[in-house]
Amino acid sequence: MSEQPLLVVEDDPGIQRQLRWCFDNYRVTIVDNRESALAAIESQHFPVMTLDLGLPPDADGASEGLKALAAVLDVAPHTKVIVVSGNDDRENAMRAVAAGAYDFYCKPIDTDELRLIVDRALQLHRLEADYRKLVSETRTRVLENIITASPAMEAVCRMVERVAPTDVTTLILGESGTGKELVAKAIHGLSERSDRELVAINCAAIPENLLESELFGYEKGAFTGALKRKPGRIEFASGGTLFLDEIGDIPLPLQSKLLRFLQERVIQRLGGNEDIPVDVRVICATHQDLQRKIADGSFREDLYYRISDITIQVPPLRERGGDIALLAKVFLDRYRKQFKRSCDRFSQEAIEVLTCQPWHGNVRELEGAIKRAVVMSDGAQVSPEDLGLLANDEHSLLSLREARDKAEAELLGKAELIFSGNITKMAEALDVSRPTLYSLMEKHGMKGVG
Ligand SMILES: Nc1ncnc2c1ncn2[C@@H]1O[C@H](COP(=O)(O)OP(=O)(O)OP(=O)(O)O)[C@@H](O)[C@H]1O
Ligand SMILES: [Mg+2]
């Protein structure tokens, strides 16, 4: 292992010499005041530093040392700071630990002891850094499944990141095929329950008379055919996440039973009278307009409030500038490989037709269309005919201005993606000046403006 950097903040020349000798297996930088300590921390990463609390101008007190501590942690929150204080100043040492120092050490210095503390701090720093790296890698991997270049969907992803580590019940709303299930999976994947089960149940797909036993389970003899006890999906999800998909379709009688479970976090199996506690995180999704269902009496308002601590609205595909072209390309690559076809791009007309579709079935419909086109296509290019999207009414009805706006938004989205938002390169590729590019981006509500 190469020598690790260590920052020593100490104003006493005698102790400076002692520490340099003590840490001969470290690359030691010694400074004697707050400013130099900050300058050092800003110019280089130090996993560990020792900090004398009694720094000038308050060499007999701790005020300067405590200020230095706060300033250092502000810039380098992961640096392990070991505070060195006078033997009669444990109180300030404790204060420093409360303010974020990793440990403290009281003079006089026993070099063996101090070395042990510093070595241990370095080890912990390394472990924590590894852990942070792992967490951030998992984070990108999970969110990578949600392919997008649009600010609206980016906002959804940021929300997923914020909501995931908490246990709040989350309601995901959005048209059919927008990716609600993908969002639910991302929340679970980024949560502390990610190593446990994500149990999904589609409330619309199961007949009403079976849904109750499916959710809550049953005891032996609860009904004809209940030959042995069977735990339900909710119980099965214990420790993990329960995804109630199409919650808008759940019949009224079951809504009250579900409400009780959500309020009290206990369930009773059918034919049983024992309360079984369940520890699950609940995510619900629906494409239905719950407000309308509440108004017409087919959805309980109290249940609505219980499931919507946080609501995530997934935007329809047609409102995600740039995403149609991006997703089309991703699906083209995916199915081209799967079906071993040679088509690897869309013709210009195909892209125009694709981006002008309303895509009421959203991403799922787009994916289906591309899959079909790949199967149908026999050349290198996917044509509008392959897509089965010739003579689109809406397309021909677009005004020139609308068509231009759409094309602009599409192109900007693509350029932003290709050049990772680098304005100079984007402007060059699109052959416009930087100010023009900025105003275009602003017009289309794209980030990176400012
Ligand atoms: N941003 C995206 N990137 C990649 N694939 C996506 C994206 N959004 C959706 N998909 C894909 O589209 C399909 C539909 O997504 P999903 O099932 O999550 O939608 P949904 O909103 O739950 O739809 P429904 O309301 O019909 O249940 C899935 O195959 C999913 O993988
Ligand atoms: Mg779904």
- Structure token pair of residue 83: 């505070």
Q: Is 181 in the pocket of ligand 1 (CB under 6 A)?
A: yes
Q: Is 223 helix (H, G, I), strand (E, B) or coil?
A: coil
* Architecture field, domain 4-132: 3-Layer(aba) Sandwich (3.40)
CATH of 319-443, one of 1.25.60.10, 1.10.274.10, 1.10.8.60, 3.40.190.290: 1.10.8.60
Nearest alpha carbon, ligand 1 atom 13: 364
Strand partners, 105: 84
Query: Measured in angstroms, how far is the CA atom of residue 148 from the centroid of ligand 2?
Result: 18
- CA–CA gap between residue 426 and residue 411 (Å, rounded): 10
- Per-residue tens of pLDDT for the chain, all 450 residues: 578 999 999 999 999 999 999 999 999 999 999 999 999 999 889 999 999 999 989 988 889 999 999 999 999 999 999 999 887 788 899 999 999 999 999 988 999 999 999 999 999 999 998 888 887 777 677 788 899 988 899 999 999 999 999 999 999 999 999 999 999 999 999 999 998 999 999 999 998 889 999 999 999 988 888 889 889 999 999 999 999 999 999 999 999 999 999 999 999 999 999 999 999 999 999 999 999 999 999 999 999 999 999 999 999 999 997 899 899 999 999 999 999 998 889 988 898 889 888 999 999 999 999 999 999 888 889 988 888 876 445 545 566 777 788 888 888 888 888 888 899 999 998 989 999 999 998 888 776 543
Does the beta carbon of 146 sit less than 6 angstroms from any atom of ligand 1? yes
Residue 285 alpha carbon, nearest atom of ligand 1 = 22
Each as own residue / partner, the long-range contacts of residues 224-229 (CB below 8 Å, 24 or more positions apart, any chain) are 226/270, 226/271, 229/269
Residue 135 is predicted with a pLDDT of 75
Q: Which atom of ligand 1 is nearest to the CA of 323?
A: 1
Tell whether ligand 1 has an atom less than 6 A from the beta carbon of residue 329. Answer: no
Question: Which residues lie across from 217 on neighbouring strands?
Answer: 231
**Residue 113 Cα to chain centre, angstroms:** 42
Q: How far is the CA of 312 from the centre of ligand 2 (A)?
A: 14
Q: How far is CA 263 from CA 151, 172, 212, in A?
A: 35, 19, 17
Round to whole Å and give the CA distance between 41 and 56: 19
DSSP assigned state of 239: T
Selection from 347, 323, 325, 344 nearest residue 334 by Cα: 344
Atom of ligand 1 nearest to the CA of 148: 1
What are the start-end ranges of the H helices in 164-289?
180-189, 208-216, 233-236, 252-264
**What's residue 449's pLDDT?**
44
154 lines ligand 1 (CB under 6 A): no
Give the three-state DSSP class for 164: coil
Q: Is the CB of 180 under 6 A from ligand 1?
A: yes
AA identity, residue 94? M
Ligand 1 and 161: CB distance under 6 A: no
313 Cβ contact partners less than 8 Å away, ≥ 6 residues apart: 156, 173, 174
CB-CB contact of 8 with 29 (8 Å): yes
Q: b vs e for 202-233, b when ≥16 Cβ sit within 10 Å of the residue's Cβ?
A: ebeebeeeebbbbbbbbbeebeeebeeebebb
Mutation test residue for ligand 1: of 141, 143, 182, the one with most atoms within 8 Å of CB: 182
Query: For residues 37 and 50, what is the distance between their CA atoms, to the nearest angstrom?
Result: 10
Q: What is the DSSP string of 354-403?
A: HHH---TTHHHHHHHHHHHHHHH--SSEE-HHHHT--S-HHHHH--HHHH
Burial of residue 391 (number of CB atoms within 10 Å: 0-12, 13-18, 19+): exposed
The ligand 1 atom nearest the CA atom of 183: 18
Give me 171's structure tokens.
Answer: 């309601």
Residue nearest to atom 28 of ligand 1 (CA): 364
| Cβ–ligand 1 contact at 286 (below 6 Å) | no
pLDDT at 395: 47
Alpha helices (H) along 1-110: 13-22, 34-43, 63-75, 90-98
Collect all residues with Cβ–Cβ distance below 8 Å to 113 and sequence separation of at least 6: 105
d(C-alpha 170, C-alpha 184), whole Å: 9
Ligand 1 contact, 202 CB (< 6 A)? no
State the ligand closest to the CA atom of 327. 1
Annotation: CATH topology of 145-315: Rossmann fold (3.40.50)
pTM beyond 0.85: no
User: Strand pairing of 48-52 and 4-9?
Assistant: parallel
Domains 4-132 and 145-315 share a fold: yes
* CA 351 to centroid of ligand 2, rounded, Å: 27
Q: Is 203 in the pocket of ligand 1 (CB under 6 A)?
A: no
Q: Is 177 in the pocket of ligand 1 (CB under 6 A)?
A: yes
Nearest alpha-carbon partner for 9 in 63, 75, 53:
53
Task: Identify whether the C-beta of residue 101 lies closer than 8 Å to the C-beta of residue 82.
Answer: yes
Residue nearest atom 29 of ligand 1, based on CA coordinates: 364
pLDDT at 390: 65
Q: Which amino acid is at 294?
A: I
Q: What are phi and psi of 279, to 5 degrees?
A: -105, 95
d(CA 220, CA 201): 23
**Ligand 1, closest atom to CA 180?**
21
- Check residue 172 and give its pLDDT: 98
Pocket flag, ligand 1, residue 444 (CB < 6 Å): no
Nearest to 283 by CA among 263, 311, 252: 311
Phi first, then psi: what are they for 372, rounded to 5°?
A: -60, -45
Q: What are phi and psi of 272, to 5 degrees?
A: -115, 165
Query: Given this model, what pLDDT does residue 137 score?
Result: 74
Domain ranges in the chain are: 4-132, 145-315, 319-443
SS3 content of the chain, % helix, strand, coil (to 5): 50, 15, 35
- Residue 184: nearest ligand to its CA? 1
Rounded to whole angstroms, the Cα distance separating 153 from 189 reads: 18
